[in-house]
Amino acid sequence: MNNASPAPPRPDSLSDQPETAVREVIVRDVVRGLYEGRYEPGQRLREAELTQAYGVSRGPVREALNVLAARNIVELTPQRGARLRVLHIGEAIDTLVVAQNLVGLAARLAARNHDDAAGRARLQAALDAHAAFPPEGGGAELAVARDNFYGALTAMAANIQLSRILPSVHIHLIRVQFRPMLRINDASRHRDYQRIVDAVFAGREREAEGAARAHFERGIERLRGLQQG
Amino acid sequence: MNNASPAPPRPDSLSDQPETAVREVIVRDVVRGLYEGRYEPGQRLREAELTQAYGVSRGPVREALNVLAARNIVELTPQRGARLRVLHIGEAIDTLVVAQNLVGLAARLAARNHDDAAGRARLQAALDAHAAFPPEGGGAELAVARDNFYGALTAMAANIQLSRILPSVHIHLIRVQFRPMLRINDASRHRDYQRIVDAVFAGREREAEGAARAHFERGIERLRGLQQG
DNA sequence: CTCCTGATTATTGTCCTACATTATGGAGAC
DNA sequence: GTCTCCATAATGTAGGACAATAATCAGGAG
């Protein structure tokens, strides 16, 4: 059974573990559903509905809800079930502050590994894919492209814990809720990404970290403005 | 039933959610068991054994395992069950690097809130409790005291996401595995903590962050030495 | 009319049993 | 000695049942 094939093709996802389970299917679909608008923050997730919707029994549904709760996507109150988390603005800012640090760290470490050819290729591909979207482009696919960019960046950082934790920050969920207010256009975001990648490829650690932090700083400032005004 | 009593007493834990469930009892006991040596890394966790040990059915046991997997405490392989995670040295270093950044951030934010009286009190109390242990002191209680220190620090940072994520980094699990190699004595750790607290209380953000980062830097260096040697 | 109280209902938390699916280990063939 | 095939063990899921709790609603006291 020693299959010597080099690497299993898994170009899309950040998940390292081969989660075959139904549970993961549900988890993924809920997250994707948030991107696509099928689910929306605040919505209640009743076990009965989910069992019907996915055609599975309550066991896997409950497990999926637990996973989603662990990832802070749903709020789980003991006898009252699950509800898709609603971020108020303060929490969104908190999230961005944490993400700012972690992505900054990722960029710094990635720059340190700037001679990793596979990492460079993946990062460049993710950047190109992100650029391919039209300025008014789609919601869910763009979100996935952004995830892939951050995934490639953290992969190049070669820090397992970082790869594990950063997705759990769920930057994209902020987007789902605050898209109208943030209105960062795709072009400027792409410029930010490009700047990060340039610094990373050149091995300039501090510049890479700074560029990553600067990108988040804008969103933070904008949300802070909304909070006070 | 609108019980107007102000706040339920929960002074010890970082958990904000009132998890009544059996699941959480198991999760907590496994973590504590790791501190106490009842469980050890690499050990397999069979559902049948856990159902017997805790006197519950497979449902809650499986849910607990999922939660533990989400917190990176157990490794869950699709058809082969759960196993308490074994960190090889590289992963331990990765963990400390991430923790270094996050705790540094926490210290900086805490310093920014240095006028928060309640936060100061809690942090001081945690520091005192940590100091109360004898230099050769107990394992599990000391680990809890350390957790409380970081809990108080992040609480004072007043960043919800940080409070949520930092515990999931599970710095303490490194200790469980690498205690013999690390041999940071309690006195020097306490000095580090004291330095952080001093800077925090004085509101010196950069110094607080630097002190926190320096504390982790030692452990990282030590592990790097082990890795190469 | 409002507020409080008690019963009804909906939903979750847990248990139990059963079966499908998949890894693991060993027996036997070559 | 290596390989194939099968028995065993363990997990993944289904489905039904019941207890416990929260939300809801009806009715009565003031």
Tell me the per-residue pLDDT of A1-51, one tens digit each, with 9 for 90 and over: 333 333 333 333 334 445 567 999 999 999 999 989 999 999 999 999 999
Task: Retrieve residue B2's tokens.
Answer: 């609108």
Q: What is the pLDDT of residue A1?
A: 33
C-beta of residue A54 within 8 angstroms of C-beta of residue A22: yes
- Same structural domain, B147 and B221: yes
Q: Are B81 and B162 in contact (CB under 8 A)?
A: no
Task: Report yes or no on A73 lying in a domain.
Answer: yes
Query: Are B105 and A95 a contacting pair at CB < 8 A?
Result: no
Q: Which two tokens stand for residue A25?
A: 């299917």
Asked if A91's CB is within 8 angstroms of B160's CB, the reply is yes
Give residue A135's pLDDT band: very low, low, confident or very high (50, 70, 90). low
Same domain (yes/no): B222, B134: yes
Same domain, A64 and A97: no
Residue B4: inside a domain, yes or no?
Answer: no
User: Cα–Cα distance between B124 and B106 in angstroms, integer?
Assistant: 16
Looking at residue B131, the DSSP 8-state letter turns out to be H
CATH code of residue A194: 1.20.120.530
Q: Indicate whether B109 and B150 sit together in one domain.
A: yes
Catalogue the long-range contacts made by A7-11 (C-beta closer than 8 Å, 24 or more residues apart): none
Average pLDDT rounded to a whole number, residues B127-149: 84
Q: What predicted TM-score, i.e. pTM, was given to this entire model?
A: 0.88
Q: Which of B162, B156, B173 is nearest to B120 (CA)?
A: B156
Quick one: CA dihedral A102, A147, A186, A72, positive or negative? negative
Residue pair B82/B45 in contact by the 8 Å Cβ criterion: yes
Domain boundary among A84, A101, A127: A84
| pLDDT of B209 higher than 80 | yes
Amino acid at B222: R
d(CA A176, CA B94): 31
> Where a domain ends, among A84, A112, A132?
A84
Q: Do both B179 and B128 map to the same domain? A: yes
* pLDDT of amino acid A19: 54
Q: Which residues of A touch B161 (CB under 8 A)?
A: 91, 94-95, 97-98, 169
Q: Which domain holds residue A71?
A: 22-84
Contact, B128 vs B176, CB < 8 A?
Answer: no
B100: amino acid identity, one letter: Q
User: Residue A48 sits in a domain of what CATH number?
Assistant: 1.10.10.10
Q: Which residue has the tokens 């009965």?
A: A48
DSSP string, A113-178: TTT-HHHHHHHHHHHHHHHTS-TT--SHHHHHHHHHHHHHHHHHHT-HHHHHHHHHH-HHHHHHHH
For residue A206, which of A96, A97, A104 has the smallest C-alpha distance? A104
Mutate: best of A16, A47, A160, A209, partner B, most B CBs <10 A:
A160
Beta carbons of B159 and A94 less than 8 Å apart? yes
Instruction: For chain B, give the number of residues.
Output: 229
Other beta carbons within 10 Å of A224: 14
Tell me the pLDDT tens digit for each residue of A202-227: 999 999 999 999 999 999 999 999 98
pLDDT of amino acid A14: 38
A96 and A142 assigned to the same domain: yes
Question: Which stretch of DSSP H or E encloses residue A193?
Answer: helix A186-202
CA distance linking residue A153 with residue B24, whole number of Å: 34
Q: Are residues B97 and B73 part of one domain?
A: no
Q: Percentage of chain B surpassing pLDDT 90?
A: 69
For A151-173, write each residue's pLDDT tens digit: 999 999 999 999 999 988 888 88
Indicate whether A8 belongs to any domain: no
**Residue of A21, A159, A168 lying closest to B78 (CB–CB):** A21
pLDDT digits (tens, 9 = 90+) for A65-116: 999 998 889 999 999 999 999 999 999 999 999 999 999 999 999 999 999 9
% pLDDT > 70, chain B: 90
B163 in the same domain as B218: yes
Q: Which of the residue ranges A180-184, B4-8, B171-175 would you say has the lowest mean pLDDT?
A: B4-8
Helices (H), chain B: 22-36, 47-54, 58-70, 89-112, 117-131, 140-157, 160-169, 171-182, 186-202, 205-228
Average pLDDT over residues B11-18: 40
**Beta-carbon separation of A97 and B161 below 8 A:** yes
Count of domains observed in chain B: 2
Q: Residue B135: what pLDDT?
A: 66
The residues close to strand C, meaning Cβ under 7 A, are A 45-48, 58, 62, 76, 78-82; B 21-23, 55-60, 63, 78-80
What is the sign, positive or negative, of the torsion defined by CA atoms of A178, A181, A187, A188? negative
The one-character DSSP state at B22 is H
* Residue B182 C-alpha from the chain's centroid: 17
Q: Is A199 exposed, middle or buried (0-12, 13-18, 19+ CB in 10 A)?
A: buried
Region B50-56 average pLDDT: 96
Kindly state the percentage of chain A with pLDDT values over 70. Answer: 90
- Both A79 and A176 in a single domain? no
